[in-house]
Structure 1
């Protein structure tokens, strides 16, 4: 497979770092063709040590001149993977599209998030048992039209709209929307996710279990290794698009791009109350909490749970990833979020400097 010139942001982060690992594990000969954007020079030694042939590009998002340098660098590459604060930073997305246009075209794989499915006007109201069918399922196949017409006030929506509108025959775009991500990352700097890890930390700091209301709120989840496999499948499909058999450009693989290039990523749902109980029980077993009891946090105090992210109060919607399964043969194979809880509790306890009684 031909080695494309790749520009990757967020390699020092959790998802971008894991994807870089997966990419180079599959294609080690591509290393010298990849440029990673670093915004913190303190991370340089970690990258030089692990990836000596990798090209490092230093820039920030904090000024117009910084974004302009990103645009100029992007113009030297055929394929862009955007992870660093990508979901909510419009200027960087604009710089990537502009840079690809300047070089005459390319492929842009953008990272958003399934938080975009959350209607900011929705109230966290529990469903009655008979109302379970009221849960709205967004899928990225039959429901692709819905995904392209979500409310403007939804999280990440302004950036998603820009990326969707930027796709052309020469600049092809795809949006990847992961749900709650878990698992230890394999990147050189950050190996930690957020939502469930922050909930775990909050429970350990508060010294008691915490859940929202009746504990029946829910969200989707995916292991970071499975997520990286999807990015890798898209990258490899993009390379077929750039360099199809026969040498000419413009042919391609199985993925859809531009207005149909919208990929939800999930491996089923979890319920926040069940996860909170698992965290609490594991922490009690390790001597980190005095009890396995879980406190219910009402609507009036829901700000306490903000570290766990927006979906902690969701009763209304969930995602279903169809497109990647149907077109790319993607399927999650890693363990479940529930199986990961013991490792998450231990890692957060160690990060907080807490003593684990039952240390393995």
Structure 2
């Protein structure tokens, strides 16, 4: 099994989950630096480390050709070269009798194009996508949507080489919860929101704060990767699990960004980390100075329903909700700021 992103938040937690369930698997991890490689090997001694990065297409192609399964999480949604190399390698190294499996990670930033096109931030949109009856809509999103260029490469490969290449496109929303990987255990959007709340002593709200986004616990997401891996190992090639329509929105609820900013401030105040539980509007430029690109998402809508994973693979998210996890997130960000 070939793994990109083992040192990251998503990939590290997925590797920890899979390795715990199947220590007997043969794992190969693509890692950029010797330092990170040592961290991975210390935690998982039987993982074979290949030093290299996503720009090394020949290496990616060679390792993908030799792998039964490729789990791609490292900058997967935006790196065109890596997607091309993985597709080419899997096709070259597999046959109809022994297909290659590709678990590709996208992201629900792809659903924010309407807000981005119109330059609107903080307003609610009622549009909710779904990956079952509405999957055609997801397969035909506008070409200029975020991540769409790589999505198209993956889906085109899935259609063109359906017999040899079994593809699942996993599209996570806001991810939260402490990761169990060897290097990065921290999420992004909500963690940056908590950090900025502590820095400003108030929750940051973009626009009217009415924009809505889905969320999922990192452990529930990893459980879904594991379900797909189990299906691959079992040769479970039922229609819809893999292929050009195997688009999975992996959500387990949604949050309104303004409400989340208020809840984050309340959690911080309750922990005694800020003087009072208040959330106030902040302009985009100021927000970007504190949290960079992540802050833009606090004003955007990304709404969908994860039906495919539940219907076809029996995915049953069970970990704590985002609101339940907020105190731990705020506390961990406080500790990071003290370092």
Structure 2 length-normalised TM: 0.91
Give 1:118's aligned residue.
Answer: 112
Query: Of the candidates 47, 51, 55, which is equivalent to residue 40 of structure 2?
Result: 47
Q: Distance in 2 between matches of 1:54 and 1:76?
A: 15
**Runs of 4+, deviation exceeding 4 Å:** 298-307
Give 2:311's aligned residue.
Answer: 326
Structure 2 residue ranges without an equivalent (≥5): none
Give 1:153's aligned residue.
Answer: 144
Does residue 13 of structure 1 match 2:8? yes
Judge conservation of contact 1:237–1:255 (CA < 8 Å) in 2.
no
Judge conservation of contact 1:254–1:327 (CA < 8 Å) in 2.
no
Query: Of the candidates 152, 155, 172, which is equivalent to residue 178 of structure 1?
Result: 172
Q: Distance in 2 between matches of 1:78 and 1:287?
A: 50
Give 2:128's aligned residue.
Answer: 137
Deviations 1:212-244 (A, max 9, x none): 122222100000000001110011111122xxx
Residue 101 of structure 2 aligns to a residue whose secondary structure is strand
Q: Distance in 2 between matches of 1:335 and 1:107?
A: 30
Judge conservation of contact 1:254–1:328 (CA < 8 Å) in 2.
no
Query: Residues 273-352 of structure 1 correspond to what in structure 2 (within 5 A)?
Result: 273-298=258-283, 303=288, 306-315=292-301, 317-352=302-337
Judge conservation of contact 2:79–2:150 (CA < 8 Å) in 1.
yes
Does residue 240 of structure 1 match 2:226? no
Judge conservation of contact 1:201–1:349 (CA < 8 Å) in 2.
yes
Q: Distance in 2 between matches of 1:287 and 1:307?
A: 28
Shift of the alpha carbon at 1:327? 0.5
Q: Distance in 2 between matches of 1:51 and 1:314?
A: 38
Q: Distance in 2 between matches of 1:48 and 1:276?
A: 38
Give 2:81's aligned residue.
Answer: 91
Give 1:246's aligned residue.
Answer: none
Q: Distance in 2 between matches of 1:211 and 1:60?
A: 37
| Aligned residue pair count | 329
Does residue 109 of structure 1 match 2:95? no
Shift of the alpha carbon at 1:192? 0.5
Structure 1 residue ranges without an equivalent (≥5): 1-5, 242-250, 355-360
Q: Distance in 1 between matches of 2:166 and 2:278?
A: 51
Give 1:263's aligned residue.
Answer: 248
Bigger shift: 325-334 or 211-220? 211-220
Judge conservation of contact 1:113–1:156 (CA < 8 Å) in 2.
yes
Q: Distance in 2 between matches of 1:266 and 1:24?
A: 24
Residue 192 of structure 2 aligns to a residue whose secondary structure is helix
Shift of the alpha carbon at 1:283? 1.8
Structure having the higher Rg: 1
Residue 66 of structure 2 aligns to a residue whose secondary structure is coil
Deviations 1:82-109 (A, max 9, x none): 0011110010011101111221341111
Give 1:36's aligned residue.
Answer: 29
Task: Summarize the Cα distance change of 1:280–1:15 in structure 2 as closer, same or farther, 3 Å threshold.
Answer: same
Shift of the alpha carbon at 1:309? 4.5
Shift of the alpha carbon at 1:294? 1.5
Judge conservation of contact 1:87–1:156 (CA < 8 Å) in 2.
yes
Shift of the alpha carbon at 1:196? 0.3
Q: Distance in 2 between matches of 1:12 and 1:126?
A: 33
Task: Summarize the Cα distance change of 1:99–1:221 in structure 2 as closer, same or farther, 3 Å threshold.
Answer: same
Task: Summarize the Cα distance change of 1:223–1:126 in structure 2 as closer, same or farther, 3 Å threshold.
Answer: closer
Backbone CA RMSD of aligned residues: 1.9
